[in-house]
Amino acid sequence: MPTPSEQLSTAKMASCLELKQGILYHMRYTLALRAEQASHRDWWLCLSLAVRDRIIDDMVLTQTRHNEDNVRRLYYLSMEYLMGRMLVNNVHNVRVFEEAQQAISELGLSWHEVCDEEMDMGLGNGGLGRLAACFLDSLATLDLPAVGYGIYYEFGLFKQDFHHGKQVEHPDTWINYGTPWELIRPEYAQTIQFYGRVEASYDSFGNYHPRWVDTKNVLGIPHDIPVAGYDTKTVNFLRLWSSRSTEDFDLDEFNKGDYVEAVRSKAIGETISKVLYPNDKNENGKELRLVQQYFFVACSLADIMRRFERNNGSDWDQLPEKAAIQLNDTHPAIAVVELMRILVDDKRLHWDHAWSLVTRIFAYTNHTLLPEALETWSVGLFEKVLPRHLQLIYEINYRFMEQVEQRWPGRDDIKTELSIIQEGQHKMVRMAHLAVVGSHKVNGVAALHSELLKTDLFARFHEFYPDKLTNKTNGITPRRWLLNCNLGLGQLFEQYGIEKDWPKNLERLRKLEEFAEDEDFQLAFMAIKHQNKQRLADVIQAECGVEVDPNAMFDVQIKRLHEYKRQHLSLLNILTLYHRLLNDPDLDIVPRVFIFGAKAAPGYALAKTIIHAINAVADVINNDQRIRGKLKVVFLPNYRVSLAAKIIPAADLSEQISTAGKEASGTGNMKLALNGALTIGTLDGANVEIKEEVGDDNIFIFGLQVDDVQALDRHGYNPYDYYHGDEELKNALDWLCSGYFCPHEPHAFDDIRTTLLEHGDRFKVLADYRAYIDCQERVSEAYRDQSRWAKMAILNTARMAKFSSDRTIQEYADEIWHLPACPIA
């Protein structure tokens, strides 16, 4: 292969020189260091700053244009953004990849060592936060005017490591040394109120206008992260709010003359944005979480109103023309109420006028049907933290209930079902109901999920608002999840004449279908996979101290640890194969490396037990000479975006084995298939649509379907029937819980057994076991025929265009936001 310098055109040489000068400029004038003193981290910082300078030029251009043209904007409200590393992505998006590599090489440095210095920006838990990050990339790439709003967590998702196989959490100190990717904007700070009480009062016309008084106040400071589109001049930004105390945070304490107590209580203001709650799909009802939600929503709406009033004065009827707001799950749903408060209390609009504006502005994305994930807040907590908002919710609900009465006179049962307030011993505010009532569109995130919203979770709402529910199948950005992470495959596309614009036009890959049976292409495709596997094998050796063979099948399950995702089903398969091998050492099985990556919520005991169990089984299997390395099991610690980018290009098999009806979409499934991994999966979430796209012959589907799961639930599912009816299953589960794999703590895994047997196996692990084992046999048979496997893998990569987040965002823009593009000259 030619070295980069031989390939660089004159224009790129100039650009490379400019970058190098930028790097050295920042080394001297930003870090005040001589090059000889600089660490890899210093070089990473200076390269980032040099790249940032270019992005800022286009950001100023973009924002000037958006403001001068007073464009319609999309505001994306999300509590989570799982951005990962920014440098490599930005270098690709602004098209200076080769130049940057060359500059780093000319400075005598290693590209990978410099890039590996970057801490992930891990301000999210999993799929929901990563979706927000992919959407920002697509919005900018499609030249759509948009601002993302969220929280600037001082500590993102915890860092995970294992002690004797058990998860241990450590704080994520990503911000310790600051980040080059933020621009702090104190001039746009906002003051936000909490707590206090509502006082009745009348204006000078004798009209009732309640006042929210005696509040505690905090300051929100914007940290702007530029978001550069791929191969375009558009640079949008993500505005993240950090909290600071105001002097009047607790006036009471100051007035009492207790200076020290008053300053101490100021610290409470600073805790709001301190840490991301590490729960994925499980709400915990903590006061600080509600405070976080209102804090970032109130800052964001005040910012949106400031921008609107600057350009449009108080022409409120223009508000829905200038602003579309998307709620990423119900976490920011309080925004519906906050905008009513602003319009009715502050701007003095009539209720009906305000409500008609609000309901034209908001749209809501639902991300789950799991009841434990649906947010409710106790009325008591609401009254304490946001007393005025509780009154407004009651008013919204009163008027909504009147409409329900008109539609279904006398049907109190339907009112109870639809009410925003859940009655009962502890009255609760149902945030999903608030979001549905306050939005003009509500979408699910895959076809199957959106259908289930209509028939299950929101069935009655669907009767009431027949045009509100819709589908927007999730997607992933092909920039991060193919161009950045799989350079080898990108080069192969070029050799085979795939148009160069494939990263923003994923349909281009369909041309690969022509080569699916071409032997040379198959070999080249599989050679790249092999290189990627070798690189991952090095990571595994470094991280886990386990040697794995890149010729073995890499069987990958990477996602949050959750019972519904069923990592323990894969563990039962591993135990079954291990058992078979021990009883027949000559058994001719396809060698496999099982690769896991997953964080468990710190309070989710069973999820932590499953991690411990996988690690314990791994330790026994990896050290058992009798099976001659035919099976290896590795659990890579600290699964995160940058680790995903190393695992995904090296995967042969993608495990997407959730209980049918429980995974709303999944996006890991899309990343893996795009990189040529074959899916073994249930008919759940977007797996259904992946199957439609790649074809039945190029995916491994098994197990219960949604109807089957529902039938089992209706007619009484008895996991013992499966346990007693399947000798291999019984053996695997008994063996796991026998103490054999953890002699020092023989009962360590008892809870897994208890959940699957005595507690009724809510996620049908035992019911799907046999179908899964049999399907894995079919996978192994396919892998033995490397040419057949290569063809299937190629067809997966070739047929993933639908799952580009560019397609998803264009659908949102056309059908929900009605948002025109604004190309920057």
Ligand X SMILES: *Cc1c(COP(=O)(O)O)cnc(C)c1O
**CB 162: neighbour CB atoms within 10 A?**
16
Question: What's the gap between Cα 532 and its chain centre?
Answer: 24
Q: Which stretch binds ligand X (CB under 6 A): 365-373, 414-422, 491-499, 640-648?
A: 640-648
Considering only 441, 559, 632, 799, the residue that binds ligand X (CB under 6 A) is 559
644 binds ligand X (CB under 6 A): yes
684: nearest Cα among 664, 710, 709, 700: 664
148 binds ligand X (CB under 6 A): no
Closer CB to ligand X, 732 or 809, in the complex? 809
Catalytic (active site) residue 559: yes
Q: Which helix (H) or strand (E) holds 560?
A: none
Cα distances (angstroms) measured from residue 645 to each of 483, 486, 532, 737: 11, 8, 11, 34
Which of the 8 DSSP states describes residue 677?
P
Q: Which stretch binds ligand X (CB under 6 A): 97-105, 180-188, 329-337, 666-674?
A: 666-674
Q: Would you call 397 helix, strand, or coil by DSSP? A: helix
Alpha helices in 126-231 (DSSP H): 127-141
664 binds ligand X (CB under 6 A): no
Which of the 8 DSSP states describes residue 316?
G
- Shortest reach from residue 104's CB to ligand X, in Å: 26
Closer CB to ligand X, 622 or 667, in the complex? 667
Look up residue 757 and give its amino acid.
L
Longest dimension (CA), the chain: 92
Closer CB to ligand X, 644 or 790, in the complex? 644
d(C-alpha 750, C-alpha 25), whole Å: 60
d(C-alpha 244, C-alpha 222), whole Å: 11
Kindly write out the interface string for residues 50-89 of this chain, putting x where it contacts ligand X by CB under 6 A and - elsewhere. Answer: --------------------------------x-------
- Shortest reach from residue 671's CB to ligand X, in Å: 6
Q: Which stretch binds ligand X (CB under 6 A): 605-613, 629-637, 667-675, 713-721?
A: 667-675
640 binds ligand X (CB under 6 A): yes
Question: What's the gap between Cα 644 and its chain centre?
Answer: 12
Catalytic (active site) residue 671: yes
126 binds ligand X (CB under 6 A): yes
659 binds ligand X (CB under 6 A): no
374 forms beta bridges with none
477: nearest Cα among 43, 56, 111, 807: 807
The token pair that represents 198 in the structure block: 């509502």
Q: Which of 462, 566, 612, 671 is catalytic?
A: 671
Closer CB to ligand X, 128 or 775, in the complex? 128
Look up residue 430 and give its amino acid.
R
Q: Which stretch binds ligand X (CB under 6 A): 122-130, 320-328, 491-499, 547-555?
A: 122-130
Cα distances (angstroms) measured from residue 186 to each of 132, 189, 193, 257, 337: 25, 5, 18, 30, 26
Is the separation of the CB atoms in 727 and 707 below 8 Å? no
Q: Which helix (H) or strand (E) holds 655?
A: strand 653-656
CA 663-668-673 angle, 5° bins? 115
Q: Which stretch binds ligand X (CB under 6 A): 142-150, 441-449, 512-520, 663-671?
A: 663-671
d(C-alpha 546, C-alpha 141), whole Å: 41
Considering only 127, 145, 150, 503, the residue that binds ligand X (CB under 6 A) is 127
- Shortest reach from residue 637's CB to ligand X, in Å: 13
566 binds ligand X (CB under 6 A): no
Positions 391 through 420 that interact with ligand X (CB under 6 A): none
- Shortest reach from residue 732's CB to ligand X, in Å: 24
Closer CB to ligand X, 662 or 671, in the complex? 671
130 binds ligand X (CB under 6 A): yes
Q: Which stretch binds ligand X (CB under 6 A): 95-103, 181-189, 638-646, 792-800?
A: 638-646
Q: Which of 54, 559, 568, 632 is catalytic?
A: 559
Closer CB to ligand X, 229 or 666, in the complex? 666
Positions 757 through 776 that interact with ligand X (CB under 6 A): none
Helices 287-312, 334-341: inter-axial angle, 10-degree rounding = 50
449 binds ligand X (CB under 6 A): no
Is the separation of the CB atoms in 468 and 433 below 8 Å? no
Ramachandran area for residue 182 (φ above 0: left; ψ -120 to 50: alpha; else beta): beta
667 binds ligand X (CB under 6 A): yes
d(C-alpha 709, C-alpha 660), whole Å: 7
Kindly write out the interface string for residues 588-627 of this chain, putting x where it contacts ligand X by CB under 6 A and - elsewhere. Answer: ----------------------------------------
Closer CB to ligand X, 196 or 668, in the complex? 668
Q: Which stretch binds ligand X (CB under 6 A): 193-201, 441-449, 533-541, 639-647?
A: 639-647
Closer CB to ligand X, 12 or 671, in the complex? 671
Closer CB to ligand X, 490 or 666, in the complex? 666
d(C-alpha 479, C-alpha 811), whole Å: 19
Considering only 139, 386, 610, 641, the residue that binds ligand X (CB under 6 A) is 641
- Shortest reach from residue 564's CB to ligand X, in Å: 10
Alpha helices in 30-110 (DSSP H): 40-68, 87-93, 97-106
d(C-alpha 661, C-alpha 443), whole Å: 16
- Shortest reach from residue 286's CB to ligand X, in Å: 23
Q: Which stretch binds ligand X (CB under 6 A): 14-22, 125-133, 515-523, 785-793?
A: 125-133
Alpha helices in 545-604 (DSSP H): 567-583
d(C-alpha 279, C-alpha 148), whole Å: 22
Catalytic (active site) residue 266: no
Give the list of residues 6+ apart from residue 667 with CB closer than 8 angstroms, or none: 127, 130, 131, 134, 474, 475, 476, 686
- Shortest reach from residue 358's CB to ligand X, in Å: 32
Is the separation of the CB atoms in 350 and 402 below 8 Å? no
* Strands 235-245 and 216-228, bridge-based pairing: antiparallel
Catalytic (active site) residue 367: yes
Q: Which of 266, 560, 566, 791 is catalytic?
A: 560
The token pair that represents 623 in the structure block: 């050290």
Closer CB to ligand X, 365 or 667, in the complex? 667
Site size for ligand X (CB under 6 A)? 12
719 binds ligand X (CB under 6 A): no
Considering only 666, 676, 703, 719, the residue that binds ligand X (CB under 6 A) is 666
Residues noted as catalytic: 367, 559-560, 565, 667, 671
- The site for ligand X (CB under 6 A) is made up of 82, 126-127, 130, 559, 640-641, 644, 666-668, 671
